[in-house]
Each structure stands twice: as structure tokens, then as C-alpha cells.
Chains A and B, each alone.
Chain A
Amino acid sequence: MSTNFDRRRINGPEDSFSPVLVDDDEDETKWRPGKPRQSRQPQDIRPIFLQPGLISQANGSAYIETERTKIACAVYGPRQSKNVGYIERGRLNVQVKFAPFSCHKRRAPIRDAEDRSIAVLIHQSLVSSVRLELFPKSTIDVFLTIIENDGIDSCVATGTVAASTALADAGIEMLGLVTSCAATLMGEEIWLDPNHDEATAGASTLVLACMPALNVVTSVWQNGTISPKQGLECMKACQERCETIHSIVAQSLVSNFTPE
């Protein structure tokens, strides 16, 4: 607990649990591993709400919501890099924060290993799309706040889409828009865009990020056991779904565009 303690804040009791209001075991409607997917087909994704430009202080921003995954993203800069040597290319700095109420258990507002690993994954998905050679000595800051968390894979995929939309909204030059989709291997089936329960029940998860406009994959992150054949199938399914997400991103940017 000592590492996860900030004496400048009002800290709750050391361990607290939210009351269990519904007896989980008796809830018949709840999805359980082994059951077929509820309310959508295996290759369906959750409905996406995407709104660029919600945070007025930021250079560019986006808010994304897919059922119970809710992420706000703000982009600042390009601003001058501090405390680094001369660099010809710009730097892309991605930071992820979990809201204290984002998870089932309260999450102390301290940076830990999990948000940093998500930040690294999102950075990996975005970095090849941004034309960093145009921003010498500068840093572009991307801040993501996870307001509600429904699975890490979903956070990485949704966060990437939000960050790319926010970068486009900020007017930062990019090779293309990055979209991302997650998949989980449930038995022999591929379930796209899994939520937390599905991702933990699946044998393997895979997150793919790509630029559909250029037909280029920017990042693949795979967890768990998967055969090469199934892996390729997952990637193909994700890439197809990324094109759907791309049209959603495009639509939101077009409807948000105001000529200067």
C-alpha cells in the first residue's frame, strides 16, 4: 500500500469494497463464459459515439464512448521540448490516466504500471502516422483520461481512435487517420471488440491498429495462446472492422469541420 499512497490527497480507507447490490450468481441475464454472445454477433462491434473538439482549452480533443468504455483525449502542442538535446524530429508524448471511479475497485490517482503500458501501446499505434519530421525540437502531448474502463484491450483500441481523432482536430499533420480494433479468441470463434468479461474469458486477445486510407498496419498487440492461422484471421477481421471505424471517425471530423 505504501507505494500507492499520496499523503497530499484525502485518502479513503485502505481497503473498501462497493456493496454488491445484485447477487451475481443468480442473475440469469448476465453473460457467462461458455454462453453465446449477448446482444450482438461475434463480428459486431459496440456502437461508437465520437465527438471531436469538446475540450476548449486544448489544441484538439476528442471524446469517445463505446457502451461502457469512455475516454476523453486532449492534444496540446507542438510546444518546445524541454530538457532534451537537439532533435531533428518531434516527439510524441502519450499519457494515460484512469479516473478514480473508472474501474470496479477505486483506483488511486497515482501513476502505476498499467496506465503506462497502455500509453506505450497507444504511442506505438500513433507514432508512425504523425509527420514528426515537420516538428523539429517540439513535443506533441496527448493526454487520455479513461472515464470508464471496460477491459484493457478495449481501452487501447478506443483510446487510439480517440487520440488519432484529437490529433486531426488539432491540425497536426498526419499520414492518415489511425483506427484500432480489438478481438478475442473465444473457443474457435473470433469475437470482435470484446468487453472486460469477454476479454478475460477468452483464450487470447489481439489489438490491431492500422491506417485504412493507406492500407498500412501500425501496431499489433497479442496476448495469450493463439495459433498463427487464427492470429492472421483475427488480424484480417480487425482490419476489416477498422475500415468501419474509419468511416465513423471521418464522419465525425467532417461534421465538426468549420472553414476558416
Chain B
Amino acid sequence: MDVDLKLPGQPIQIPRGPAPQLSNGVYSRDGQVRASLVGIPIYQASTLSIRRVRPHPPTSNSIVLGTVTRLSPIQATVSITVVDGIPLLPGEEFTGVIRVQDVRATDKDRVKMGDCFRGGDVVKGVVISLGDAQSYYITTARNDLGVIFATSEAGYTMQAASWQEMRCPKTGKIEKRKCAKPEGL
């Protein structure tokens, strides 16, 4: 049995010195820091947490991946399938919305939804708020956010040609999307 393994409710001894920041899996009650998950508490700089790689609901600033399920001139509905790099279980997706003013940072009033997303596109975005009863609000107004995977009308996976164009490799046809800048470029 691991000595450091903590169970929910078990007190965690804090070394002398400045109090650590409490993160996932730990809480403080009546001045005593306790675990709220099964796991081993670890320090990262001054943050104390118990890590648990489990699917969790999006919070603000979560990076999410999702599929566009519905498109209207005002907003695009996205079915969130990955939150912070952790895939959600099938059937447990969350619904997100990209409003027209959250698509890009510049020229916001000239955004046409149909020129930025299409149904079935996989979009990378950041949650800006918990939104309303139905959905989370997502923004793609950053260079590294936007469509990361899309198929052309002919049915082939397209390649990004610029930040607002994608090209079909078979037909050479250009389609409009709000593309995400690939990582490491």
C-alpha cells in the first residue's frame, strides 16, 4: 500500500512555509487541507493538486474540440467531444455555440457564418463562458483556433491554404473556412 495515497476526506499534511494554492482534488475545511479524490497529492511550484485524468465538463478557458452540428447566420452549434485534451465518453457530449461576433478578432461585423464553418467541420476553440441553459459559449478569435479538419464538397479532406481558405486536394477547389494555424509553425 502506498503511504502517500489519499482518499476523499483524508487530511493532507502541509509542510511549513507559505500555504500552497489548492487546485484539483483538494479542498480546505476548517483550516485543514483535505483530499477530495482518490490519488497521490503532488506539488507543482506552489500548487497542490491530485491529478485524475477523467473527462470533466468544460469551464471557462478550457480548450475544446467539437463538430459543427448546426449552422445559422447568427451562430454555429458545436458538439464538444474533447475537453482539455481528454475525450468525453460517447453520448456524453456537451453543446457549445460559436456566436458570429466570436468567430474572429478583426472585422467582426463582416463575418459570414457560411464562409467560416460548415456542418461536420472539426473546430478547435476556447470556452469564454458557461453560457446559457443549453450551451457553452466558444470563441475562435485567435490565430491557433478555428477549423482543424474539414472535408470538401467532393468528400476529401481539405488542406489549409490560408487563414480563411482551404483547398481540396483532388479537385483543387477552394472553400472558405476560418482555419486554425497549425501548431509548431
- Which positions in A face B, CB cutoff 8 Å? 59, 76-80, 84-86, 129, 131, 135-138, 168-171, 173-177, 211-214, 250, 253-255, 257, 259-260
How many interface residues does B have (CB within 8 Å)?
32
Given contacts A168-B37, A257-B38, 7 further A-B contacts (CB under 8 A): A86-B133, A137-B57, A137-B133, A138-B57, A168-B8, A211-B9, A257-B2
List 8 A-B pairs, minimum CB-CB distance, nearest first: A176-B9, A213-B9, A171-B54, A173-B36, A79-B92, A174-B8, A171-B52, A86-B133
Give the complex CA separation of A129 and B27 in angstroms.
Answer: 13
* Inter-chain contacts of B93 with A (CB < 8 A): 80
The contact of B1 among A76, A176, A213, A254, by CB within 8 Å, is: A254
Give the complex CA separation of A72 and B141 in angstroms.
Answer: 47
B56 and A84: CB pair below 8 A? no
B5: interface (CB < 8 Å): yes
A176 and B92: CB pair below 8 A? no
* Inter-chain contacts of A138 with B (CB < 8 A): 57
A257 and B5: CB pair below 8 A? yes
The contact of A177 among B7, B57, B94, B133, by CB within 8 Å, is: B7
B50 to chain A, nearest CB (A): 9
* Inter-chain contacts of B53 with A (CB < 8 A): 260
The contact of A260 among B27, B52, B133, by CB within 8 Å, is: B52
B120: interface (CB < 8 Å): no
* Inter-chain contacts of B94 with A (CB < 8 A): 79-80
* Inter-chain contacts of B40 with A (CB < 8 A): 259
The contact of B5 among A85, A171, A254, by CB within 8 Å, is: A254
Give the complex CA separation of A135 and B39 in angstroms.
Answer: 20
Interface string of B67-106 (1 = CB under 8 A from A): 0000000000000000000000100111100000000000
The contact of A253 among B7, B34, B133, by CB within 8 Å, is: B7
Give the complex CA separation of A255 and B54 in angstroms.
Answer: 19
* Inter-chain contacts of B151 with A (CB < 8 A): none
Interface string of B34-74 (1 = CB under 8 A from A): 10111110000000000111111100000000000000000
- Which positions in B face A, CB cutoff 8 Å? 1-2, 5, 7-10, 24-25, 27, 29, 34, 36-40, 51-57, 89, 92-95, 130, 132-133
A156 to chain B, nearest CB (A): 21
Are A176 and B38 also in contact (CB < 8 A) when A80-B95, A84-B133 are? no
B10 and A213: CB pair below 8 A? yes
Give the complex CA separation of A213 and B89 in angstroms.
Answer: 32
* Inter-chain contacts of A212 with B (CB < 8 A): 9
Give the complex CA separation of A207 and B1 in angstroms.
Answer: 32
The contact of B57 among A135, A175, A253, A259, by CB within 8 Å, is: A135
A173 and B37: CB pair below 8 A? yes
A123 to chain B, nearest CB (A): 18
16 A-B pairs, CB-CB below 8 angstroms?
A: A78-B57, A80-B93, A135-B57, A137-B133, A168-B7, A168-B8, A168-B37, A173-B36, A174-B8, A175-B34, A175-B36, A176-B34, A213-B7, A213-B10, A213-B34, A260-B52
Residue of A with least CB distance to B92: A79
Residue of B with least CB distance to A52: B38
B29 and A171: CB pair below 8 A? no
Give the complex CA separation of A211 and B7 in angstroms.
Answer: 12
* Inter-chain contacts of A78 with B (CB < 8 A): 56-57
Residue of A76, A79, A170 most packed against chain B (CB within 10 A): A79
Residue of A80, A174, A177, A260 most packed against chain B (CB within 10 A): A80
B128 to chain A, nearest CB (A): 15
Residue of B with least CB distance to A82: B134
A137 and B9: CB pair below 8 A? no
B29 and A214: CB pair below 8 A? yes
Give the complex CA separation of A175 and B2 in angstroms.
Answer: 21
Give the complex CA separation of A232 and B8 in angstroms.
Answer: 27
